[in-house]
Amino acid sequence: MKENCVALSEAAELINPRRKEGVGLVFRVSKVSYPLNPESLPEGKATSYLLKTGDVVLQNVGNPDVYLVSDAALPEIYVSTYDVVIKCRKISPAYLFLYLASVEGQKALKSIQSGTMVKHIVLSDLRKLAIPLPDKADEVYEKEFEETYLKR
């Protein structure tokens, strides 16, 4: 592990949604943009995880796109089984999102992808991903996220 880095599993909880009985609105990183519009989400098979404010969601099949859920009030929305939910514990969600969406973060994510036809990220490899520790206050990253992604 690089100096001034922490394994993702030390900084956050990783949740891999599983299918369950029922249907409902389904969030998939590759199908959404800012701001999140629940009315544009497709109905699909329910999963074991409901989307929550502050979740960082990573698409683990195909391109490793990432999304930070910043909406305060959300209806019942299930997270797709093609995505992994990252619940930050020791670093701010805005910081983690900005890192994973950056050129450096995308390079790190792509380096742990496997598969020849369809690239995917194995959860055990994602848990070990080295995340640089933030060097600024959480508010700085939150402001950068808002200015870059929410004020378009």
Q: How confident is the model at residue 3 (pLDDT cuts 50, 70, 90)?
A: confident
Strands (E), the chain: 5-7, 12-15, 19-27, 43-47, 56-59, 66-68, 77-79, 83-88, 113-114, 120-121, 130-132
pLDDT tens column, 89-142: 999 999 999 999 999 999 999 999 999 899 999 999 999 999 999 999 999 999
Q: What's the rounded Cα separation, in Å, for the pair 57 and 49? A: 11
Q: What's the rounded Cα separation, in Å, for the pair 114 and 22? A: 31
| Per-residue pLDDT at 152 | 59
Whether 72 has a pLDDT exceeding 90, the answer reads no
Q: How confident is the model at residue 60 (pLDDT cuts 50, 70, 90)?
A: very high
**What is the pLDDT averaged over residues 6-24?**
97
